[in-house]
């Protein structure tokens, strides 16, 4: 299970890096709203990665 958590965290961190790169590219061409959106998702995926390693995943909440 721990290996799969690390793999999932790694995947999410890669998604965060992709979003950050997109945010930088959008900022360079003056697409400020899109850059802000991509920045938000970079942080979102980073936090999901970190939280997943601690055993917390918002998609697993039962309600």
- pLDDT reported for residue 58: 67
CA-nearest of 35, 45, 44, 50 to 12 is: 45
Please state whether the predicted TM-score (pTM) of the whole model is above 0.85.
no
pLDDT at 1 over 60: no
Nearest by Cα to 43 from 11, 5, 24, 17: 17
pLDDT digit string, tens, across residues 34-52? 999 999 999 999 999 999 8
Q: Are 15 and 51 in contact (CB under 8 A)?
A: no
């Amino acid at each position: 299970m721990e290996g799969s958590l690390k793999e999932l965290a790694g995947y999410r961190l890669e998604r965060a890096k992709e979003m950050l790169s997109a945010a930088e590219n959008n900022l360079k061409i003056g697409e400020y709203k899109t850059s802000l959106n991509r920045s938000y998702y970079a942080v979102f995926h980073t936090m999901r990665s970190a939280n997943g390693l601690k055993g917390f995943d918002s998609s697993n909440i039962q309600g």
